Chains A and B, each alone.
Chain A
Amino acid sequence: MMQIISLLLENKPGALMRVTGLLTQRGYNIESLTVARTLDPALSRMTIVVDVDAAQRQQVIKQMNKLINVLQATDLTESPAVVRELVLVRIRTAQESRTAVLKEAEIFGGRVVDSSTEGFAIEVTGDPEKLGEFIDVMGSYGEVEVTRSGALAIALEARKLKLQPPVPTKAGEVAAARER
């Protein structure tokens, strides 16, 4: 089954490698992965869709949480969340189909971002399944080229983020003892 994971991680060199490396190491197939900075530039938000056995879902989250750069790993598969994806479609279509293509794009809430004598480039956002349908429909009008962003998800319930406090080193303990 498809599992949707939302990760909050430190924006550090190698952090992405740790996540993808863990997935391959443990034998999980990545369906899609998106990552970008959060409001806090020191952190990134990642949405990962993996194909795993239902029984393995907990294990994936636990393994993710063990990564030192990961602040929070959340399973959004069944919890209230909005999942969206962006698709860019370039369609080459004959003159007589142009109006029909535009009509279909409108039905799916698409936006034409480029138009030429050959056809259009159209952007659509939506539920990943809906986008699949859109691509199928476009395919019936002519040759299409597709780029998908992969799923982006946001939880609809706030989850408390538990962060660990600093830990004194031996030098720190010595200094603290001296102050006392």
Chain B
Amino acid sequence: MSQLMSGARMLMECLAREGVDCIFGYPGGVTLPLYDVLYDHHIRHVLVRHEENAAFAAEGYARATGKVGVCCATSGPGATNLTTGLVDAMMDSIPIVAITGQVPTRLIGSDAFQEADTFGITRSCTKHNYLVKRLEDLGQAIHEAFYVAASGRPGPVLVDITKDVLQGQGHYQPVTSVHLPGYKVFTEGHTGQIRRAAQLINEAERPLIYGGGGIIAAGASAELRETVELADSPAVMTLMGLGGLPSGHSNFISMPGMHGSYAANMALSNCDVLIALGVRFDDRVTGRLAAFAPHAKVVHVDIDPAEIGKNRAPEVPIVGDVKRVLPKLNRLLAEFQKSDAGSPAAEKRSAARRAWWHQVRSWKEQHPLSSPVSDTEIKPQHLMAEIDRLSGGEAIVTSDVGQHQMWAAQLIRFGAPRLWINSGGLGSMGFGLPAAIGAQYARPDKLVFSLVGDGGFQMSVPELATISSGGLPIKIVIMNNGYLGMVRQWQTLFYNNRLSAVELDCFPDAEKLAGAYGFKGRSIEKPSELRAALEEAVREPGPYLLNVKVSPTDNVYPMVPAGGAIHEMVLGPPEPVAVPAK
């Protein structure tokens, strides 16, 4: 039996059926009918203080759980404010559904109050989008949106709903299936190609696994671990893949790329078989493409056919879900290993593998990622090491964008997927704090650090209110160097140190700022205070704002200059040159 109900109630009914328990949003004129239903609905609505942060919080929720995050905004400015978060989710393949209100159908195209062409604007910001102008299309659109967002290569989907649809009355009939005849999802992988891949990996003398965000999205950590151990291959995990293989795993090297470790980049540059799993050969990983992994035959597994061969043509292309492909690969790998155990070829290979491992370990020892400590000032790396000590690879760390993000990725360990949450592809400043809100709502049991720079933090200050009113025990740690550090680093290194518009010379008193929002905060600058201050923040049952003043001019190394090959790393600041006395 179908019930008569409003479009807004129907929408909520659909969300409930999709298992939504939390929406991040901001109300407005055309979403009034929806907010009237939310008034006494069991689905929690979290009122953010800016729509952009609703999208980031939904991403934080999705990144921390793998479930679809939901955000909601009104028409016009509400919808346009969501766009950065939508593109962010698009770049990092994060499943979110955005619900926006639209002006009544009869007013569309009339330049009505708070009208914007949301459907047109968000075409390129989403995996797919909908404009619902008829009540009878609403349920189908919502369920399709969730299906598209979560399946295949995940991504953001927006559903723009006119006010007359939200207000209209109709009979609700549960949607039992969605039909998208042109939406193809390839999951299984080609059996012949998987066999070729297994053979290639088995015969490799210098194998390397290069895993990325696809491992996290697919929930394929266990499968990856088995591949790594079966192949006994060293592994690098990208910025998006950190935690996909536990950082403490003996085969894990570290993150590769522009700020990757020496060992990771050297391993990429010298491997003979590169096993690329759920990665997209991003420019920040590959550096100059022509010089990337020049000796390697490439096996590339990805669920998105368009990623295969986009940047690097693989010898063995496999379109499929890593979670479905890796078990098949592992089975074949074990078979091959068994069948040629003890053969002269296998003996020769195992000697070569031992030499390769020896080489990789010596690269690690030559230039390890280190955390220098000073007596007079807090080194950024020291801060990361202390957070790492407290986390023990178990806390959720959301980061913003810039130097602190790179140091955190280099130095903080993650023992599991979905703990490291950051804006990778788009690099959106202002992401870290709202993402922590989403993550904390999704995982109330978890210790959540929101690690931000002093630049990005000031983009998200309004959300201190959201944190305070929700009583979220988020530990906000500001790595405050008084600069837009990453931009300054580039100006220093490539623009003759002409520091232009990068100095952040006014920063609020953290204790007073936190106090103004009703929670505790503190600023520190002495290395001796660091450990105790972090421990105090973690002990505090509520939110905590810890402003850590770090040495102002440190730069992130290693660094591959833009356009350089990744083995051409700058390993540290230039040595001071002695100037002869006159």
Interface residues in chain A, defined as those with a beta carbon under 8 Å from any beta carbon in chain B: 9-10, 13-14, 17-18, 21, 25, 58-59, 62-63, 65-72, 162-172, 175-176
Contacts and interface: CB of A to CB of B under 8 A. Distances in A.
B180 interface: yes
B134 to A, nearest CB: 12
Question: Shortest 8 CB-CB distances between A and B: which pairs?
Answer: A172-B176, A62-B306, A171-B174, A166-B179, A163-B181, A71-B182, A166-B177, A169-B143
A68 B306 contact: no
Contacts of A25: 124
Contacts of B184: 65, 162, 164
Contacts of B306: 59, 62-63, 65-66
A171 B175 contact: yes
A68 B148 contact: yes
Contact of A167 (B120, B124, B127, B179): B179
A169 B181 contact: no
Contact of B131 (A14, A165, A169, A170): A14
A13 B178 contact: no
Contacts of B183: 68, 164
B147 A71 contact: no
B155 to A, nearest CB: 10
Contacts of A71: 181-182
B17 A68 contact: no
A43 to B, nearest CB: 10
A169 B180 CA distance: 12
A170 B19 contact: yes
Contacts of B309: 58-59
A17 B176 contact: no
B124 A166 contact: no
B518 to A, nearest CB: 40
15 contacts: A9-B182, A10-B181, A18-B123, A21-B123, A62-B305, A63-B306, A66-B305, A72-B182, A163-B181, A163-B182, A164-B179, A164-B185, A167-B147, A170-B17, A171-B143
B196 interface: no
B128 interface: yes
B17 A164 contact: no
Interface in B160-214: 174-185
Given A166-B177, A170-B18, A21 B182 contact: no
Nearest to A15: B182
B338 interface: no
B177 A167 contact: yes
A3 to B, nearest CB: 16
B449 interface: no
A157 B18 CA distance: 43
B61 interface: no
Contact of B119 (A14, A65, A70, A164): A14
Given A10-B182, A68-B127, 12 more contacts: A14-B131, A65-B306, A66-B304, A66-B306, A68-B128, A68-B180, A70-B182, A168-B177, A169-B176, A169-B177, A170-B17, A172-B174
A165 B180 CA distance: 8
Interface in B75-128: 119-120, 123-124, 127-128
B119 A68 contact: no
B175 A17 contact: no
B175 A172 contact: yes
B18 A13 contact: no
Nearest to B143: A169
Nearest to A10: B182
B327 to A, nearest CB: 23
Contact of A169 (B127, B147, B182, B305): B147
Interface string B2-38: 0000000000000001110000000000000000000
Nearest to B130: A14
A168 B176 contact: yes
B310 interface: yes
Nearest to A9: B182
A9 B182 CA distance: 8
A70 B180 CA distance: 10
A171 B123 CA distance: 28
A176 B177 CA distance: 11
Given A14-B119, A18-B123, A166 B304 contact: no
B17 A14 contact: no
B358 to A, nearest CB: 39
B182 A17 contact: no
Nearest to A17: B123
Nearest to B152: A66
A71 B179 CA distance: 12
A172 B173 CA distance: 11
Nearest to A63: B306
Contacts of B185: 164
B182 A13 contact: no
A177 B123 CA distance: 37
B178 A167 contact: yes
Contacts of A66: 304-306
